[in-house]
Amino acid sequence: MHADMDAFYASVEQRDHPEFRGKPLAVGGSSARGVVAAASYEARQFGVHSAMPSFEARRKCPDLVFVKGNMPLYSRESRRVFEIFKEFSPLVERLSLDEAFIDLTGTERLLGDPATAGENLRRRIHSELGLPVSVGIGPIKMVAKIASQVAKPDGLKWVKECDVRFFLDPLPVSRIWGVGPVSAERLEAAGFHTLGDLARTSDTVLRGQLGDWGVEVAQLARGEDIRDVEPYRDAVSYGEEHTFAKDIADHTLLESMIRTHAESVARRLRRDGIRARTVVLKWKEGRRTAPGPRGYPLRSRRVTLSDPVDDGQAIAMAACGLLQRSGPTVPIRLIGVGCTNLEVATVSQVQLFSEGSTQRRKNLNQAIDRIEDRQVKRGEKDQD
């Protein structure tokens, strides 16, 4: 099950301030340099979304109400949300402040079928926290994650094993988990537009056109996902990780995975109007030390930066630094990049590097976010 709160900060503000209910609301800074960190569903109807400059948001929606972000409040609400998540399964993988995978394997006798468990979770969050949440259920993580987006707002979608291909086939390749805008363009250029296009292609053709990566992506498109639900350690974190088909020791390859994950984490931070001060590198050693799928030692290293970041290159630099200084010394089966120590981004980014390079990165990030917006529009709705 993938559970994802709807317009999380905005919903918390609307719950605590009845006068804001039913109104277009933005959490963020209203100053000249202000940005929107989160938008209520009412505001989204005007085209307001996170990471948009506040002046532009106000132009699209003159009645937009601005509320300053309150990270301690959202973090506290996030903890309450996760306390409820954890009552449904001990295996909860945190993807962000308001979104998690919950492994329901083996809970049917206790919780009923997955749809019953999902509706009960939604009801409890509604009644105890007064907040809307959407739930997706599927046999693999990626399907559950896409299903929760389809269920939004305030709904539930269960994709049964026999319906997975029917559900996935028409979706655009940008919806594949882990395929960012650059990879999506590469797939499009090779003539793969939907998951069905990839799923129907033989491994030989895929390998010839796209290398081993193409074979892996097509496996996901067919609904074959080997990723387990991985409980995270951090109280609040954003992360992306990759399980390799075979153990990897080559640092060049690991660094390129780190850069991909860093860009993807950074996009999610920007989407959620968040910046992070701490970057975490984690990995799982290939050598099993205990029985079962969770018997591989999990390690992590972290570094805290002087300025909070939402930029993929800055996150990648920090994570690659950790890899070089204190990374794995044995082949590993999983690598992940995470961000924690978060704050609401209410003004545009302070100087990270020199003036010119900051501006260039900002322009690049906006371009990346625009590409992603375009793909989402071409596909189905994609909402947080």
Where does this chain bind Mg ion (CB under 5 A)?
4-5, 98, 384
| Residue whose CB is less far from Mg ion, 100 or 281 | 100
CA distance 98 to 211: 35
Q: Are 285 and 332 in contact (CB under 8 A)?
A: yes
Which of these, 384, 383, 380, lies nearest to 168 by C-alpha position? 380
Least CB distance from residue 381 to Mg ion, whole Å?
13
Pick the catalytic residue from 93, 99, 216, 285. Answer: 99
Write the burial class of residue 198 (CB in 10 Å: 0-12 exposed, 13-18 middle, 19+ buried).
Answer: buried
| Residue whose CB is less far from Mg ion, 310 or 384 | 384
- 99 given a catalytic annotation: yes
Which of these, 183, 289, 155, lies nearest to 240 by C-alpha position? 183
Least CB distance from residue 8 to Mg ion, whole Å?
5
CA distance 301 to 283: 9
Cis before residue 139, ω within 30 degrees of 0? no
Residue nearest to Mg ion (CB): 384
Least CB distance from residue 155 to Mg ion, whole Å?
13
CA distance 243 to 227: 7
| Residue whose CB is less far from Mg ion, 98 or 369 | 98
Least CB distance from residue 252 to Mg ion, whole Å?
35
CA distance 120 to 117: 5
Catalytic residue positions?
Answer: 99
